[in-house]
Structure 1
């Protein structure tokens, strides 16, 4: 098979020939049809993101993908060769322990036990075939009728879906999405609408991008262009909410200040919840007394539960989640360097998708 191998972060990335892997106990081998490319893949490969940890030997990078089961190992009973499936990079250790380690296959791991998991399962999806633990593979079911590239687009929504589930979004809730103009932020708006949010407040700094997001559901999605002043931004968000939000979902990326996040927190009504799923390079100054008096919850969330893909597919199948606003930009697997350039500059309504078997 053809596979991309990364020597190390900041090292050589090369397209090479490798044997098709054999299915391991508890694992499956999938013939990858399509995969979505992370927008920050170019910086990741260049070693510009030091928080990421990779195997201490050359490995196949790449996150989520869609494909056909090629073979299954012992101890795998439900997945069968020929099934179309989705592969999730999010892999949680299966032992019955209080704090199971978790990694992102083909991407990163955090902590000693996670590093051992990564050494055992080092490779991701940027190859013609991938060996994955069965618990990170979900049957596509009725979604199998769709083109593999269409299935790959749902990967834009699966991460924010995990955060909205964590935040206990209920039908009719008013939801604030901060960092809405980013790729995952836009996905969060789409999923919140699908889950029945009564109103979604899209918060960000780029007015033009926010205007495009409002077109997802005119009148139901309202924009707030952030100024960076916490008090005035919180007032603007609360006004757009009609009094205050039930849930705020924070998807700011690599924020250098906490201002937008704090404005989202202060836009909550009593008993409101703030879900943190982005990244920030500075501490979040939590206002102790304000938090206590208002009964606010701050909830951290990393990725999504194992059943999330199946539940997301339910939303698509029911016609509640419309993926058509996201436009795929397709590259053959061999054109990964060009695809990484495109992903770094693509808009929040574009998704770079790799075609793993293009002629």
Structure 2
């Protein structure tokens, strides 16, 4: 089969042996895989907080495909089944803090990626069963690859305890995960979603959605917080912070300041600046600040059900398609500000 292989900062498109099924794992023939917006920087080694596998490996965190073969200990998944692969791995040990990893990307413990190094930017991948979710029969002919982009904000909205009828501020709404978060909040029944960001073109696109109000951020904390509250036209119950590579905490502080008393702020972005907090204000308002990473194991199945019932419209999320062999062009496209979901497909 063909697979992209990363060795240090050298990325090559190679012929490699077909993978063999392993215990508690399946071989998935990949149809489509999303390209991370920061994959070009990752390949170049410009993301020091990421710990890739030791030695050559295939990058890529998620995808959609068909089960081709199953290993021992696999009792329900079967060949021919169409599935979503996520790469969000938690070791199945019955311990208080099991080891986690993003297969094909990074892990706090390098030992995990010694066992599961390879991701989805290949024609086939061996995936542990805990990262594989069957696609409902009613979505057999539906392109569901955008679900993989929705999983991160979905995890944040679950952690933030979003309830139908509440108002949500999405900070970083013009980024890849932020724009997906707007769609997911709507699917979960938000009364209003305030989309906060700086890319006017993306804000204009999001404003066409029902119950979405855009706010272009200025960097002035007080003014931006006032604008967010005005756009909400009522109490802000939850703010989901998905701003990427922020060198200033100002937009996050504006989102926090926009919250009602006892409102919740969920941090899922990649800010590099410290977040200064007013101890007394936080105490008096009862606001919560919640850190969250990724999503629960059942999140893919729950999101696919939202798609199957028509609550989450994946067709409203723009995408761009490239052949797997054209990963270089796909990475460049994905890194462009305001880019749609960039996908590589094995069928060209």
Whether TM exceeds 0.5 here: the answer is yes
> Distance in 2 between the 1:124 and 1:325 partners?
27
1:175 paired with 2:173, answer no
1:159 paired with 2:168, answer no
Unaligned runs of 5+ in 1: none
User: Could you tell me which of 187, 197, 200 is aligned with 2:193?
Assistant: 200
Deviations 1:197-252 (A, max 9, x none): 001111112333212211011xx211221111111111111122224300000011
The residue matched to 2:315 in structure 1 has which SS? coil
The equivalent residue for 2:32 is 34
Whether contact under 8 Å (1:27, 1:76) holds in the other structure is yes
> Distance in 2 between the 1:203 and 1:337 partners?
30
> Distance in 2 between the 1:266 and 1:298 partners?
12
The equivalent residue for 2:105 is 107
User: Could you tell me which of 187, 191, 195 is aligned with 2:180?
Assistant: 187
User: Could you tell me which of 252, 257, 266 is aligned with 1:261?
Assistant: 252
Alignment of 1:119-268 (within 5 A): 119-142=114-137, 144-147=139-142, 150-217=143-210, 220-268=211-259
RMSD over aligned Cα atoms: 1.3
1:313 paired with 2:311, answer no
Deviations 1:305-328 (A, max 9, x none): 110011101111111111112233
The residue matched to 1:227 in structure 2 has which SS? coil
> Distance in 2 between the 1:41 and 1:209 partners?
21
TM-score using structure 2 length = 0.97
The equivalent residue for 1:284 is 275
> Distance in 2 between the 1:345 and 1:206 partners?
12
The residue matched to 1:269 in structure 2 has which SS? coil
Q: How many correspondences in the alignment? A: 348
> Distance in 2 between the 1:243 and 1:15 partners?
53
TM-score using structure 1 length = 0.94
The residue matched to 1:262 in structure 2 has which SS? helix
> Distance in 1 between the 2:337 and 2:310 partners?
26
> Distance in 1 between the 2:138 and 2:37 partners?
25
The residue matched to 1:249 in structure 2 has which SS? strand
> Distance in 2 between the 1:62 and 1:199 partners?
34
Structure 1 runs (4+) deviating above 6 angstroms are: none
Unaligned runs of 5+ in 2: none
The equivalent residue for 1:2 is 2
CA drift at 1:280: 0.9
Whether contact under 8 Å (1:84, 1:144) holds in the other structure is no
Distance 1:228 1:347, change over 3 A: closer
